[in-house]
Amino acid sequence: MSNNLYKIKQIVGLIIFIAVLSAMGMITGRPVMMLAYAGFFLAMSAIIYLTLKNHQRHFEVVNKSNKTAKSILAAILMIIAIILPMIIALRSSIINLPHSLTMGSVVGLMLGLTIVFIALVLLALYMINSKGHDLKNRIIGYLSFALAAVIPGALMQSVDRTTMGIGSVYYVAMAVLILVYNSRSLFCSQE
């Protein structure tokens, strides 16, 4: 019975995860995009599940094609994490961009800040999880994570100070964080 309850909890957790992330489709102004986001995150979850299903807690040698598939999937997730904030900023009405900014400056600013955000998150994960046996490394990791958490809010202070604007940017940052974490987990998984 305990095993069945564990599986039910996993399925419910996955449904809640996909439902929360699919709500990002509402920020585009078109409710049908909720279904598109749900489909995308469901497909990504299914791919990750199928990739890891047969190789979890096995101690045999893994063939090279599986490592290649994981690396490709990790790269795809990382690319999506990098371009997601830019697409949302340009395609939705969530952020009221100043008219003085050109398209090139918006793209450059969004890509630059997203890469800095991702680098700080990856540094935090590395310093806390991989080098966390030393207190100094954990402190550096937590400080870099705190600095990464400040970036979305600081960016929105000059553009849109409304609760909806700042909350939506943190919602997008959470999606980027999840994509980066899954990408790192796939790329750094130890067989």
pLDDT (0 to 100) of residue 175: 84
In a shared domain, residues 18 and 74? no
- Angle made by CA atoms 60, 66, 70, in degrees to the nearest 5: 120
pLDDT (0 to 100) of residue 47: 76
In a shared domain, residues 145 and 72? yes
Phi, psi of 7 (to 5 degrees): -65, -40
In a shared domain, residues 33 and 125? no
Asked whether residue 36 is assigned to any structural domain, the reply reads yes
Cβ-based burial of 153 (10 A; exposed 0-12, middle 13-18, buried ≥19): middle
The pLDDT profile of the chain, 191 residues, written as one tens digit per residue, is 577 777 787 777 777 777 777 776 666 666 777 777 778 777 877 777 777 666 555 555 445 557 788 888 889 989 999 998 888 877 776 666 667 777 788 788 889 999 999 999 999 999 988 887 888 999 999 999 999 999 888 887 777 777 777 777 888 888 888 889 888 988 886 55
In a shared domain, residues 109 and 160? yes
What's the CA gap between 26 and 59, in Å, rounded?
44
Token duo for residue 174? 């959470």
Asked whether residue 9 is assigned to any structural domain, the reply reads yes
Asked whether residue 58 is assigned to any structural domain, the reply reads no
In a shared domain, residues 34 and 104? no
pLDDT (0 to 100) of residue 126: 92
What's the CA gap between 42 and 46, in Å, rounded?
6
pLDDT (0 to 100) of residue 158: 74
Alpha helices for the chain (secondary structure H): 2-22, 33-53, 64-91, 103-125, 135-157, 163-187
In a shared domain, residues 80 and 167? yes
Residue 161 near residue 170, CB atoms below 8 Å: no
- The single-letter DSSP state of residue 190 is -
Domain region containing 27: 1-53
What's the CA gap between 176 and 79, in Å, rounded?
10
In a shared domain, residues 12 and 80? no
Question: Structurally, how many domains does the chain consist of?
Answer: 2
Asked whether residue 180 is assigned to any structural domain, the reply reads yes
